Structure formats: C-alpha cells, structure tokens
Structure 1
C-alpha cells in the first residue's frame, strides 16, 4: 500500500493525515495524528521542522507505515505565503526526508494553509473554485480553470481582516463607545461585552484596552457578543454583521473578475460563518444574486487538501501566484 501525507499546520495545532495514494475522497475513518502548532513565523523554521518530523514519525509508527510506502508529502502551513518562505521550509523538509528515510522521489508540496484549505473544500475532481475564510482574521483564495491562484484579503488586523472576528470586535467596541457618549444608539452589545470582560461601566474599557497589549485572538473573541446580540434582534448588531458579510462578498466579487465562471463553486469556512446565521445567509444570497458563483459547503478539511496537493503538484495542477 502507498500513502501520501497531508498536513494542516496552524498557529496552535497541527493535523497530519495519512491518505491512500491517488485516493481523492475523504475516508470515513481518516488516519490522523495531531500535535502542536507549526507556524514558522511564530516558533521559527527550525522548530517547525522539528515538530513536523516528530508528528510524521508518530503517525508512521501509529499506523505502521514504512518509509518506502510514502509517495508524497503535502504541507499547508500558516505563515507560508511568500516564495522565500516556501524555499526555506522546503530546505528544512529535505532534512526531515533524510531523517525519516523517505525516498528522494517522494513528491513534496509546501504552501500556505489557505491553499490547502481551498483544495480540501472542493468536491472530488473539482479544480476551480473560491474559498472565503472568516475566523479571527479573513482572506479569500481562488484557483481558476487554468490553475492560476488569485488571493484577496489576508492583510492582517491592522490593514484589513474585514468581516473577521477581529473586525466585528472593533465595530462592537466602537458602538459601545458611541452609545455611552450618546453619539449612537443603545445596544445590547454593551451589556454582553461588559459581562464577558467582567467590567461594570463602558468607560472601564479604556483602561482594559490600553493598559496592555492584547493578542489578536483576545480582541476577536468579543465577536461572540455581537452574534449573541443579533440573535436578540439588536439593530446595531445586525447592522455590524450585515456590513461584515458585505465585506466578505466583496472578496469574492474581487476574485471573480480573474477568469472565474458564474458556475464556479464558492465555499466559506471559519468560525464567523459557523456561528453567524446572518453573515452566512447574506453571503450565500449575494453570491447567487450577483452571479458570482454557486455556493457549496466545504467538502473536507485542509489536511485532506494538502494531501491532494501533494498528488496533483507533479501533474502541474496548480500554478502558484
């Protein structure tokens, strides 16, 4: 039996899938192992390599897979978005191949986690599509019929991330400040955010926000309060979510001009789409109304996509941007 490996390497968690070679459907009972995050820009390239090698070795032992049975390795890693990143990571993976005694003919794909997520989101034997991701941050990626990759968003929380959890949280904090001053309408968001942060008065937010540097995810978690408020028909919350959904539609609208047909599959992933019915429903409705594509639910997880990319790369299935 021959296998390919697909890796989804995030900032806090890495998932490694062992897939039968040339299989293009997600197994009902996948062979998976998980480990620590492997974003090389967070932990360093060398440490990312150490963790990846340990995880692959663990999986080979757990599922009794010999080095000679591996024909491909696909790595979709957070933080890998530039050619120099791919080159550096590929060099490190070369050492991993030697340490694990993998064949020099073993196919290798190294790329971004978003590309792996895109590939996994599409139905088997589908090679054109657009994926929009909205979680803590936001971005979109599409590959057209010619195999050309196009990206939109992904500028980070200071320059972009529109429609993301971070974006929703900033809008929430702004609406609280305006309501406290009388510059904006009252909103349930105020009560929900204060409860979440264990504060008693909106003006305590000044000290909370500016007294120390907050991690991106600490701010982004306040998006939950906007979604809860919207479920109670809070007008401010509904407006914030609708504007966020429009930003996410704009990602697709921007990509669609690059040779994508009106029948192109458009998928959406991430916690914001998962937890906000308003955003997801608006997004789907506008995709169809504007003839930007056909919405479909994601087919499989990113690690499956990474495994497929390890297979199709040798066939020239995807041309990097």
Structure 2
C-alpha cells in the first residue's frame, strides 16, 4: 500500500493524516487565516508536512481540503505550489472543504452534507457530473447558521440590550462584556482582526452555555441556526442528488441546532433520509487521495482539482 497524505485546513485549525504501510500518524496546526491578499494556506501545508517529517518521494498522493478555497483565494495554485515545494511532484487533489466533508460524512456515497464550524456550506453530489455548493460565502455575505453567524447575532442582541433597544438579553450582554470588555471596544476588536470570523465564532460557547441555563434569546439564536442549516441542506438536495443527507462540524455539538435542523428539514423534504456522519473531512480527504492514486477521480472545477 502506497502512502497518502490527507490535509484539512479550516477556520478552527488545521490537521494532517499520513496513511502509510507502517501505520497512521496525525498532526495538528494553526487555523486558516485570511489576509488582504487572500487565504494564508501555504504556510500551514508546509508546517504540517514538516511536523510529519515528510520529504519528496515519501507519499504517492496528497489531498488538501480547504475552507474558502473558492471565495477567498485565486484558486488552488497556491496550495499546489506548497505541496510541490514540500513533497516534489506528487499526484495532488485540492478541494473545497465542503467536498471533503461530504465525501467523509457520507462514506463516499452520493447525497448532501451540511458543514458548519466557523463558516457553513452545504454540498450535494451524485458523484458524477453534479457537485452543487450552497452558501459558504463568508461571514459577511453568508455562512448562515455557522459559528460566526451565531456569534454575530449574539453580539448584536447584546448591543441592542446595551442600547436599550431590547430588554430580554441581559445575560448575553453580561457574557459578552466578560469576554470582550466594554461594548465601545468591540468594533475595534472585531473589525481590525484578520481572523474576525474566528473571533465571532468564539462566542458560540457562551451562547450554548446560556441556552443550557434556559436563556430564551440564546436558545432562539441556536434554533435559528438550525433552521438556516436545514434550508441550505434542502437546496443542496435538489435532483439529481439523491435524498440522502448528513452533517458535520462542531456547531452540531449544541443539541438544539441539530434537532431544529432535523425538524426543519423534515418540513422541507419529508423524503430525505438524514444519517449521522460516517467520517470527518479528513477521512474524506484520505479517500479522495486514494481515488486519485487509483485514477478513479475526475476533476470538478472549481470545487475539485486533480493535478
């Protein structure tokens, strides 16, 4: 069995898995950042390869799944160049993290998956000619139901409480003040950061804790996230994508998000079978690397590049 390398780059962190004849090794790294020039992906790839101690000739195929590869970069070339620089000429797949997540969660079967962490995307595929991406437009224009989306709405509610525009969110305001300090400093702390989406998503733990304490506003924000994710998943499930679906991402650790999404999807599409995920985006990347090595993987630009 030839060795393959799977890499996952996301707003919450980066991971790499080496699958070799002598075993499996995994390493973790920093989260993916966005600079004025676009995604800062190449240094993460280089760092993960270095942590694994890999050199040219050590692996037969690589798959890099990355958040924002479609919307926040000029394409896959910067990742391809980073892989070539670290590992030489090797068969390489660069894919949206929506693709690797869908392949991993469904175990390589056709269907649709909604991915939500710092950002959110849904992807539906028949594994042949259709690879349909929904949302994933970033925390300003989209990413409905994501960690950044939840954090933004929580801070908006807190500021409305601070301004006297509402009176039902004192707990959210107190929690946000404990995290960020006085509200007048929040715009600078968020707007001036390159990783502002991650900063917004950091608020999710506070929202989940307040919802667990039966705070109605926090609970409704999480429920609204579930409804948004169901809408994205239903859009990804249009024909020719079969009615099989799953989910992946840390936001689903909040039970209210998952249960509300399940209920909302049932209202939108009663025919859909919603299953727990079989694997992660890293599992999907490993599977795609194997398929590329076997010559069984067709490119689907711009979501899936095979070099």
Q: Taking structure 1 as the reference length, what is the TM-score of the superposition? A: 0.77
CA distance in 1, matches of 2:69, 2:263: 33
| Alpha-carbon distance, 1:283 to partner | 0.9
What SS does the corresponding residue of 1:260 show, helix, strand or coil?
coil
Q: How does 1:111-130 map to 2 (within 5 A)?
A: 111-123=95-107, 126-130=108-112
Indicate which of 158, 168, 178 corresponds to 1:195. 178
Contact in 1 for aligned 2:110/2:242 (Cα 8 Å): no
Runs (4 or more) in structure 1 with deviation over 6 Å come to: none
1:43 is matched with: 40
Indicate which of 70, 81, 87 corresponds to 2:70. 81
CA distance in 2, matches of 1:12, 1:245: 20
Q: How does 1:1-321 map to 2 (within 5 A)?
A: 1-10=1-10, 13-19=13-19, 30-36=24-30, 41-43=38-40, 45=42, 47-48=43-44, 50-51=46-47, 53-56=49-52, 58=53, 67=57, 70-81=59-70, 84-98=74-88, 106-123=90-107, 126-187=108-169, 188-197=171-180, 199=181, 204-205=182-183, 207-212=184-189, 213-214=192-193, 215-262=196-243, 264=244, 266-274=245-253, 276-289=254-267, 290-291=269-270, 293-313=272-292, 314-316=295-297, 319-321=300-302
**1:72-124, CA deviations, whole angstroms, 9 ceiling, x for partnerless residues?**
221223342279522343244334343xxxxx6x532122233222222223x
**1:105-148, CA deviations, whole angstroms, 9 ceiling, x for partnerless residues?**
x532122233222222223xx33122212222222222225342
CA change 1:84–1:182 in 2 (3 A) is: closer
CA distance in 2, matches of 1:35, 1:4: 19
CA distance in 1, matches of 2:116, 2:259: 14
CA distance in 1, matches of 2:177, 2:85: 50
Where do 5+ consecutive residues of structure 2 fail to align?
Answer: 303-307
CA distance in 2, matches of 1:31, 1:210: 41
CA distance in 2, matches of 1:216, 1:135: 10
| Alpha-carbon distance, 1:271 to partner | 2.3
What SS does the corresponding residue of 2:124 show, helix, strand or coil?
strand
What SS does the corresponding residue of 1:158 show, helix, strand or coil?
helix
CA distance in 2, matches of 1:70, 1:97: 8
CA change 1:298–1:144 in 2 (3 A) is: same
CA change 1:293–1:8 in 2 (3 A) is: same
**1:178-232, CA deviations, whole angstroms, 9 ceiling, x for partnerless residues?**
33455434233233333333x4xxxx31x12134424332232222232222222
| Alpha-carbon distance, 1:52 to partner | 5.0
Contact in 2 for aligned 1:9/1:39 (Cα 8 Å): no
CA distance in 1, matches of 2:87, 2:116: 34
Larger Rg: 1
Contact in 1 for aligned 2:12/2:118 (Cα 8 Å): no
Q: Taking structure 2 as the reference length, what is the TM-score of the superposition? A: 0.80
| Alpha-carbon distance, 1:270 to partner | 2.0
What SS does the corresponding residue of 2:132 show, helix, strand or coil?
strand
Contact in 2 for aligned 1:107/1:311 (Cα 8 Å): no
What SS does the corresponding residue of 1:315 show, helix, strand or coil?
coil
CA distance in 1, matches of 2:12, 2:216: 35
Where do 5+ consecutive residues of structure 1 fail to align?
Answer: 22-28, 61-65, 99-103
Aligned length: 290
